[in-house]
Structure 1
Amino acid sequence: GRHNGTTRCSLTCLSVRTFAADTKMSEFLWSLKNGDLDQVKDCVEQKGLDVNASIDVRPPLHHAADYGQVDVLEYLIEKGADVNSKDKYGISALLAAIWEGHTACVKLMVEKGASKQGTTPEGQSYLEAAEKQEIRDLLH
């Protein structure tokens, strides 16, 4: 049993590091969903979080689009977030905003080069998936 102490320490150190990373990610996720732009900036600029790294199987852009956080979206795109990235389910941030009816988010992403030609996982076009007329107009 000479090495038990070392092994135990390694495991503890590893789990503390993982916990710290998880905490950083959950802070980031919270700020994305709640539109806390200062916190998002802090996570990206001070803590070095990647604007394209998935959190809970979705890129940061998707979380912001889902919750209608247009200022956060704009910032993430400025910082290099891929406007056409898809999550684990094949859903783009644009589609998330279309489904949630977030017109300002749809407008911003289209202006920033998001593809309007996508389809839902069920095969509907983005235009067909849009319920709001003002969003349909942006997708033509």
Structure 2
Amino acid sequence: MAEKTLVKEFCDLIRQGDLERLVALIEEDKSRLYMTTVFGTWLHFAASEGKLEIVEYLIAQGLDVNTHCESVSSLFTPIQAAVYSGKANIVRYLLSCGAIIDTNRGSLENILFLASHQGYTEIIQLLIESGIDAKVKYNSDTMKNMDALALAYEYGQEAAVNILRPYSLGEPVFWHDKRGGKYYSMPVINNNYVRQGWRRFDFQGNRIGTYDSHNQKRIGD
């Protein structure tokens, strides 16, 4: 069977959840287990599709739960694939198998940031219960001292905000660049909750006002 045809068949079988046929093809040629595609390994693909039974089989056959996917990113792992797709059942299982939670490589690799951006509340709760550091903050051209709570605020993920509030340092700060003006915002904090609105500062750190809870309307100095 040509490799291109085989890859398509494997992808179709995983999407359909046809473990029996998948096992038969792998038993014919064990090297097929270790094929890689533009989606990563079969474990990456099964994780992104949310096919728990197939994920369990692939790990039992020896695929590394923390294997990286060079075709997507050198840091892309099966648990990241599951979080991107919002597959909480897969995230739970991969965590039970020893999936590594790494917050040291930047916001793009932080799966709590991925879940917070999309508002995947069940995954956020799973990650917190597994001990992920929700207080870690990142700095880049588009963010300054931004933690997962600030990211959830930024993208209007209110359910995620409610989960993350108790685990934040209470000082989420993030940059804006709107209409040519650069400034950053920090919530008015009372026991880790935004009560009154957002304090806004210019790029040099000068206070330019307090805005409402949606960070839109100026309500004070």
Partner SS state of residue 51, structure 1: helix
CA 1:122 to 1:51, structure 2 compared with 1: closer, same or farther past 3 Å? Answer: farther
CA 1:124 to 1:81, structure 2 compared with 1: closer, same or farther past 3 Å? Answer: closer
1:65 maps to amino acid? A
- Post-superposition shift, 1:99? 1.4
Q: 1:102 maps to what in 2?
A: 87
- Which is worse superposed, 120-129 or 41-50? 120-129
Hey, what's the Cα distance between the residues in 2 that align with 1:124 and 1:20? 34
Q: Which residue, out of 51, 70, 77, partners 2:59?
A: 77
Q: Which residue, out of 89, 96, 113, partners 2:72?
A: 89
**Preserved CA contact (<8 Å) 1:120 1:126:** no
CA 1:75 to 1:128, structure 2 compared with 1: closer, same or farther past 3 Å? Answer: same
- Post-superposition shift, 1:86? 1.9
**Preserved CA contact (<8 Å) 2:107 2:113:** no
Q: 1:137 maps to what in 2?
A: 125
- TM-score, normalization: structure 1? 0.75
1:103 maps to amino acid? A
2:83 maps to amino acid? I
* Identity percentage of aligned residues: 27
**Preserved CA contact (<8 Å) 1:118 1:125:** yes
Q: 1:8 maps to what in 2?
A: none
Q: Which one has the bigger strand percentage?
A: 2
- Post-superposition shift, 1:122? 5.7
- Post-superposition shift, 1:96? 1.2
Detail structure 1 runs of 4+ shifted over 2 Å in the superposition: 19-26, 46-53, 118-124
Partner SS state of residue 50, structure 1: helix
Alpha-carbon RMSD: 2.2
Q: Which residue, out of 15, 26, 29, partners 2:11?
A: 29
1:136 maps to amino acid? I
2:82 maps to amino acid? A
Gaps of 5+ in 1: 1-18
Provide the aligned length of Structure 1 versus Structure 2. 122
CA 1:119 to 1:102, structure 2 compared with 1: closer, same or farther past 3 Å? Answer: farther
- TM-score, normalization: structure 2? 0.50
Q: Which one has the bigger helix percentage?
A: 1
Q: 1:112 maps to what in 2?
A: 97
Hey, what's the Cα distance between the residues in 1 that align with 2:36 and 2:80? 17
Q: Could you list the per-position Cα deviations for residues 72-112 of structure 1 after superposition, in whole angstroms to 9, with x for gaps in the alignment?
A: 10100000111111222222111111111111110111111
- Post-superposition shift, 1:50? 3.4
Partner SS state of residue 109, structure 1: helix
* Structure number with higher relative contact order (C-alpha < 8 Å, ≥ 6 residues apart): 1
Hey, what's the Cα distance between the residues in 1 that align with 2:26 and 2:94? 20
- Which is worse superposed, 22-31 or 102-111? 22-31
**Preserved CA contact (<8 Å) 2:91 2:123:** yes
